[in-house]
Structure 1
Amino acid sequence: MSQVRNVKILGTGKYLPNKKVFSHELDELLGVKQGWVEQKSGVAMRSFIEDETASQMAAYAATEAINASGIHKEEIDCIVSVSGTMEQPIPCNAALVQQQLSLSESKIPCFDINSTCLSFVTGFDTISYLVNSGRYKNILLVSSEIASVGLNWKTKENAILFGDGAAAAILTKTPENEPSKILAGHMETISEGAHYTEIRGGGTKVHPNNSNADETDFLFDMHGKSIFKLSSRNIGAFMENLLAASNCTMEEIDLVVPHQASGMAMRILRKKLGIEEAKFMNIIHNHGNTIASSIPMALHEAIVQHKIQRGNKIMLLGTSAGLSIGGIVFEY
C-alpha cells in the first residue's frame, strides 16, 4: 500500500543557547585526562541554557522557520511540539509555544507528540496525513530540548553526550507541479528495552508525594551497551522494511540525517548500513545530542549548508527510548 503524501517542508529554523561548554572544560570538571570527553562522546562543544526556557527556545527556532518559509506567523493553523522533554507536565509544550509566539488570540490547536528522541520523525510522519488531507494548511513542528538540567554527572559517559537547543519546521501541502513528497515512514518498538533509557520520576509512579523517590529517579539514566546490542539486532531488518515501503534503494538516497546520539553510535550505524560518509549528516561535534531536536537541527544544517536540493531523496533515521527505531524517506 502506497504511503505517498504530497507534503513539503516549507522552511526550517534552529536555536542554540549562547552558553558554550567545551569538552576540555568537562575533562577538568570530571577529573579525567584531557581529551577523554571528546574521544568518548564525539562532542567538542555543546550549548547549555543559562536562563532560557524550552518554550522560549522553541519560539526562536519557530520564528526562523517562519521567516525561511516566507509566510506570516498568523498563517500557521496548528502547532505541534515534537519534543522528548517537557517544560512542565501540564499544559502541553505546544500551548506554551503558542503563547511565546503571541498567537493566543488565534485559538489554533496546539498539542504534543512525544516519542523521545524520535519525536520529530514521528510527528512529521503522523501530522503529514493531516496536511495531505487538507485539514491544516501550515503546521509548525517544533522540538525544543533542555537536557542539561536532567543529567547525572556521576554517570559520566551518559552526561557528556548532551546539549540543549531547538529546531523547527513548517509543513504545507505541496503545490502542484512540485516534487516534494513523503514516500514512507516506518517505526518499530521493542519494549524489551523499555527500561534501558529512562527518567523514572516526574509522572504518577514516582511523584513529589512519593516518599520512596530518590533524586536520581529524576535524572537521565541509560544502559548504553544494552541499547546498542538491542538496536544492532534489529536495525538491519528495520531498514529493509523502511526502504521497501518507500520503494527506494539505499543508493537512491541522497542524504541520511541520523539522530545525533553519540560519535561512536553514528560511526557504527553508518558502517553497518554501508552509507558513505559524504551522504551521512553529522553535526554532533559542535551540537552534542540534543534529543528530539537533533534530527531537525541536522536537517536544517543540511539545508543551509546546501547539502540537499529540492527533489533530493532524504532519509531521517534514529532510535529512541522505548526502545524504538524510526525513519522516514521523503523528497525534499
Structure 2
Amino acid sequence: MALRVRIAGTGTYLPECLITDAEMDARLQVKPGWVNKKTNVVKRHFIQNETASRMGAKAARRALDAAGLEFAQIDCLVCTSATMEQPIPCTASLIQKALGQEQSGVPSFDVNSTCLSFVAGLDMMSYMVHAGRYRRVLLIATEVASKGLNWQQKESAALFGDGAAAVVIERSEDDCSRILHAAMETYSSGAHYSEIRGGGSAMHASKYTEATAADYLFDMNGEAIFRMASKLLPDFLQGMLGATGSRIGDYRLVIPHQGSAMAMRLLRRKLGIAEEQLMYITPDHGNTIAASIPMGLHEAIRQGRIQRGDRVLLLGTSAGFSMGGIDFVY
C-alpha cells in the first residue's frame, strides 16, 4: 500500500570544530595519509560546546524554515538517533526544550535502531501521517559519535563524525509524492559485531572502572559486519525491488547509510548501483550514524540531484545486525 506522505523540508547542522584527515592521522599516531587511504574521509566535525539536543534543535529549525512552517504546525517530534544525550529523559524531550517549546505539549519520543533509526522512524511515522493521526511530524537524527570512540581501534575511530539532520513529513495532497514500500530485517547472530556494552542495565555506569573502560566505548568487528552485509544485502534488495516490481535502474538516486568507503564499494559492486545513482557524502561528513541518511537526503535536495516526482531509495545497515530500506517518490 502506497502511503500519501511527502517530505516537506530538510535541514542539517554540523559542529563548528572541523577535523581533517591529517589531524586524524596525528591523533591516531599513524603515517600521513593513512586515514584517507583507509576511510576516504577527508574531514569530519566533532562537538566542542554543542550537545546532541542543541544540534538537533538547529537542524530542526532549518528543516522548518525549508518547509515554510512554524513549530506550532508540528504535531509530533521524534528523535531518531543511536546516541542518547542522557539515559533519561529521551533526547526528543531535550530537543523540544532546546527549541524553546517546553510548554507546547507536542508529543516527543525516541526511536532507536542505531544507524537505521531514521529509516525506522520514517517508516513508522509515515503510517501515522497517512492515517491522519498526525498532520506533520518532525524527525530529527542528532549524533555524537566522538565521545564514544575507542582510539585503540584506529580503523573505526577514523570513520566517524558528529552532526544532526532533520526532516519534516506531512500528508501529500496529490499523487506525486508517496512512500511505495519499506522493509527491515534483523539477524541477531551479528548483534555483538557492533556494540557499546557498558552504560545500560547489564553493565551499569556505576560499575565503570579503569579496567572496564573499553566496555564503555564503541567496539566494532568491521570484517564480520562486511561478511554479513555481503551475504545478506543482495537478497534484501531483491526483496525491496520485487515488492514494487522495480529494477535498480528505476531510481534517480540511492541514498545509503554512509558507513565507510568499503561499504559504498560493496553497494555498487554487489547491488549494481551506478556511480551517478549513488549519493556519497562520506568524504566530508564521515559516518554520522543515523544522521547519515537524512544528511544524504538533504544534500541530494540542496544539490538538485533529485526533483519532485523522482524515485529515491534509502538503504542501510545497522548494529543488530539489521538491514532496512524505504522506496519513495520525492
TM-score by length of 1: 0.97
1:128 partnered with 2:107: no
The whole-number CA distance in structure 2 between the counterparts of 1:43 and 1:218 is: 25
Identify the residue that residue 190 of structure 2 maps to in structure 1. Answer: 193
Q: Is the 8 A contact 1:185 1:245 kept in 2?
A: no
Q: What is the distance in 2 between the residues matched to 1:246 and 1:187?
A: 15
**For residue 86 of structure 1, what is the aligned residue in structure 2?**
84
Superposed, 1:30-109 pairs within 5 Å as: 30-109=28-107
Partner of 1:209: helix, strand, or coil? helix
Q: CA deviation at 1:264?
A: 1.6
Check conservation: 2:123, 2:326, Cα contact below 8 A: yes
Deviation at 1:34, TM superposition (A): 1.1
Tell me the residue number matched to 2:178. 181
Q: How does 1:316-331 map to 2 (within 5 A)?
A: 316-331=314-329
Amino acid at match of 2:183: H
- The Cα of 1:247 is off from its aligned counterpart by 3.1
Flag as ranges the 4+ runs of structure 1 deviating above 6 A: none
- Residues 242-251 or 220-229, more deviating: 242-251
Whichever residue aligns with residue 196 of structure 1, its letter is Y
Q: CA separation in 2, counterparts of 1:209 and 1:255?
A: 46
One-letter code of the match for 1:274? G
Structure 2 partner of 1:224: 222
- Higher mean C-alpha deviation, range 153-162 or range 241-250: 241-250
Whether contact under 8 Å (2:4, 2:175) holds in the other structure is no
Deviates more, 1:213-222 or 1:35-44: 213-222
Q: Report the 3-state secondary structure (helix = DSSP H, G, I; strand = E; otherwise coil) of the residue aligned with 1:153.
A: coil
Q: 1:154 aligns with which of 152, 155, 176?
A: 152
Secondary structure at the aligned position of 2:227 is classed as helix
- Match of 2:206, SS? coil
Deviations 1:230-288 (A, max 9, x none): 11111111001111223321111110000000112111211211111011000000000
- The Cα of 1:207 is off from its aligned counterpart by 0.5
Residue equivalent to 2:7: 9
Unaligned runs of 5+ in 2: none
Q: Does 1:210 align with 2:225?
A: no
**Aligned position for 2:309:** 311
Q: Which residue of 2 aligns with 1:164?
A: 162
Secondary structure of the corresponding residue to residue 292 of structure 2: helix
Q: Which residue of 2 aligns with 1:27?
A: 25
Distance in 2, Cα, partners of 1:168 & 1:246: 27
Aligned length: 329
In the alignment, the residues of structure 2 paired with residue 162 and residue 306 of structure 1 have an alpha-carbon distance, to the nearest angstrom, of 26
Q: Secondary structure at the match of 2:32?
A: coil
- 1:178 deviation in Å? 4.3
Q: Superposition pairs for residues 233-312 of structure 1, below 5 Å? A: 233-312=231-310
Contact 1:42 1:264 (8 Å CA) reproduced: no
What displacement does 1:164 show? 0.2
In the alignment, the residues of structure 2 paired with residue 105 and residue 208 of structure 1 have an alpha-carbon distance, to the nearest angstrom, of: 32
TM-fit CA distance, 1:295: 0.3
Whole-Å separation in 2 of the counterparts to 1:83 and 1:206: 21
Give me the whole-angstrom Cα distance separating, in 2, the residues matched to 1:275 and 1:291: 22
8 Å contact 2:257–2:293 — kept in the other structure? yes
Identity %: 52
What code does the residue aligned with 1:62 have? A
Normalising by structure 2, we get a TM-score of: 0.98
Q: Kindly indicate whether the alpha-carbon contact (under 8 Å) linking 2:230 and 2:266 is maintained by their aligned counterparts in 1.
A: no
Looking at structure 1, the residues matched to 185 and 171 of structure 2 have their Cα atoms a distance apart, in angstroms, of 27
Query: 1:119 matched to which residue of 2?
Result: 117
Asked if the contact 2:53/2:85 (under 8 Å) is kept, the reply is yes
Q: Which amino acid aligns with 1:195?
A: H
SS at match of 1:144: strand
In structure 1, how many angstroms separate the alpha carbons of the residues matched to 2:157 and 2:317? 18
Which residue identity does 2:204 align to in structure 1? Answer: H
Give CA deviations for 1:89-147 in whole Å, capped at 9, x if unaligned. 01111111111111122101111100000000111111100000000011000000000
Secondary structure of the residue aligned to 1:327 is: strand
Distance 1:31 1:207 in 2: 32
Instruction: Report the 3-state secondary structure (helix = DSSP H, G, I; strand = E; otherwise coil) of the residue aligned with 1:105.
Output: coil
